[in-house]
């Protein structure tokens, strides 16, 4: 008799996150995230009243900030 192990599913990284999650990820306030979206600095997807931010956009924003610091030296 063999004992079957439950199948483990790999963790799925989300493609979109809520404003609150983006704020936590970037260590910024919710209002700052909204300001960045309104200014076009951070793209977002709107579905009805819900706004979601692509994780790729968060990574790209961080990369731009790092590049800006590197180029300022």
Predicted pLDDT of residue 23: 98
Alpha-carbon distances, residue 51 vs 8, 18, 20, 24, 66 (angstroms) = 31, 7, 10, 16, 26
Cα–Cα dist 8/25, whole Å: 26
More confident residue, 61 or 72: 61
> Mean of the per-residue pLDDT values for the chain?
92
Q: Is pLDDT above 90 for 9?
A: no
- CA atoms of 63 and 60, how far apart (whole Å): 5
Q: What is the pTM of this model?
A: 0.79
């Amino acid at each position: 008799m063999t004992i079957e192990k439950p199948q483990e599913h790999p963790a799925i990284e989300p493609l979109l996150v809520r404003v609150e999650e983006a704020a936590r990820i970037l260590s910024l306030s919710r209002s700052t995230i909204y300001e960045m979206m309104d200014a076009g600095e951070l793209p977002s997807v709107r579905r009805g009243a819900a706004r979601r931010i692509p994780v790729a956009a968060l990574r790209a924003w961080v990369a731009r900030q790092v590049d800006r610091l590197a180029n300022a030296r």
